[in-house]
Amino acid sequence: MSRFGGPGIPPPHAPTGCGARSDVFRFEGTLRGSLGKRPWSVLVLGAVLAACGDDDGASDAAIDAASRDAGRDATTSDDASMPTDGGEDLPDAERRDAGADAGVPEALREVVVAAGSNHWRALSIDGGRTFCDVGRATEADATGFDNPYLLRTISFYDGRFVTGSWRAIYVSTNGFEWTDVTGDGNPEFGQWVAGVAYGNEWWVATGGYGTAMRSRDLTSWENVSSELPGNEASRSLVFGDGVFVTGRDAVGWWSSTDGTAWTQIDPDNDPALVFDGAVIERPGYDRGHGIRLRGGWPNRIERAEDREGATWETVFTAPENPTRFAFGEVPEADFTRGRVPDALADCLGL
C-alpha cells in the first residue's frame, strides 16, 4: 500500500543563489534537527557567508577550501564531552536526525505486519516467509473471532503502522513496539474501526454504523460521524490521489478530503477496497514488497509472489485468524540486538 507523506516531509531545498537574507534563514531552517550541535550551525552559516559575502571576487577554489574546512571542523568539538554526529553516545533517534542533517540517507528495512482477531499482530522481516508474534489481547473475554478485539484491517501511512478495533487504536513506527493512542479507552466514535488512513495533514478513521472521526496527531480525535450520511457500516478506508475513500455496506464508496463532508462517488462497488495506483476493489489479498499475502480460515497465512499465476503456499499457522497485512519501510537501526527484545530477536533471526 502506498505511503503518503505528511508533516514529516522535509522543507524544500533552499535557493542556491546568494543575495536576499531570506536565503540564509531558509538554509538555517534545514538544520533544526541539529540545534543541539552548535558547531554545525555556526560553521555552516560561516561557509554560506564566505561564499556569498561582499562582492570581493573570491575564487571558487577559495570557497571550496572554506567549505571543506567547515565540514572537517563540524565533526569535532572544543568540548570533549560533546558527542560527534553519528557517535555511539547519541540516542538512536538523535543519531538518525544527525545523519539526516548531514545528508546521509537513512537505511530502511522492508517490514510486513499482520493483524487479526483478539488484537493479534505479527511481524515479518524476510518478505513474508516467516512471522513472529508481537501482540495479542489478554482480556478474559478476548475469545472467538467477531468480538470487540477484532482488528479488521491494518495500514501503513506517514511512517506508521496503524490498526484498530472497538477497544483500541494501535500505532507503531517499527512493527514491534505498539502504543494504544486511545489511552486504554475506546475510539472516540464509540464503534469498531474499519480503517485508519492519513492524508492532507489529517488522520481519518471510519467504522461501524456510519461513524467517522479525525485527528491531527493520532491522540486527540474529533467525532465527525454527522458528516457521513446514513448509518451503514464502513468496511475499509484508504487515502490516495488527494482524497479519502471509504467502502460501506449497501451504499458503495464515499469520498472526503479531510474526514468531513463525505460524498457518495459510487453506490454499487464492493465495500472492501484498496489503493493501488487508484482506488480499486480489494482482490482478496494484500500486496507489497513484491509479494501477496492473504489469511486462510481459520488461522493460516498464505503467500505468493506478486505475479499472475503464482502459487500460493501456507507459510505460517497463527494463534488467531489473520485478517489483513500492511507493508512498510522502517529504520534499519531499530532491528539490532539490544534494540529488539531478546525473544523477538531470536524469532527474527537477528
| pLDDT tens-place string over residues 95-124 | 455 555 556 778 999 999 999 999 999 999
Instruction: Count the Cβ atoms, other than its own, within 10 Å of residue 96.
Output: 20
Examine the pLDDT at 15 and tell me if it is beyond 70.
no
How many Cβ atoms are within 10 Å of 297's Cβ, its own excluded?
A: 8
Cis peptide before 298 (omega within 30 of 0): yes
User: What would the pLDDT profile of 76-95 be if each residue is shown by its tens digit?
Assistant: 333 333 333 333 343 444 44
Q: What residues does each domain of the chain span?
A: 21-101, 109-348
What pLDDT shows up at residue 101? 56
The H or E element that residue 275 is part of is strand 273-275
Give pLDDT, residue 176.
98
Task: Give the chain's radius of gyration (CA, Å).
Answer: 24
Orientation angle between helical segments 21-29 and 38-52, nearest 10 degrees = 150
> Does 21 score more than 70 pLDDT?
no
pTM over 0.75: no
pLDDT at 183: 85
Q: What's 109-348's CATH class? A: mainly beta
Q: First and final CA of the chain: distance in angstroms?
A: 26
Which tops the pLDDT comparison, 65 or 344?
344
For residue 89, the tally of other CB atoms under 10 A from its CB is: 10
Closest by Cα among 344, 300, 348, 290 to 323 = 300
The whole-number pLDDT of residue 106 equals 85
Which residues in 105-131 are b (16+ Cβ under 10 Å) and which e?
A: eeeeebbbbbbbbbbbbbbbbeebebb
pLDDT at 55 over 70: no
Three-state secondary structure call for residue 46: helix
Residue 79 has what pLDDT? 38
Cβ count near 179 (within 10 Å)? 15
Q: Indicate the helix (H) or strand (E) that contains 51.
A: helix 38-52
For 8, other C-beta atoms within 10 Å of its C-beta total 8
pLDDT tens digits for range 33-50: 333 333 333 333 333 333
Task: Tell me the pLDDT tens digit for each residue of 124-179.
Answer: 999 999 999 999 999 999 999 999 999 999 999 999 999 999 999 999 999 999 99
Q: Which helix (H) or strand (E) holds 346?
A: helix 342-348
Given a cut of 70, whether residue 316 has pLDDT beyond it is yes
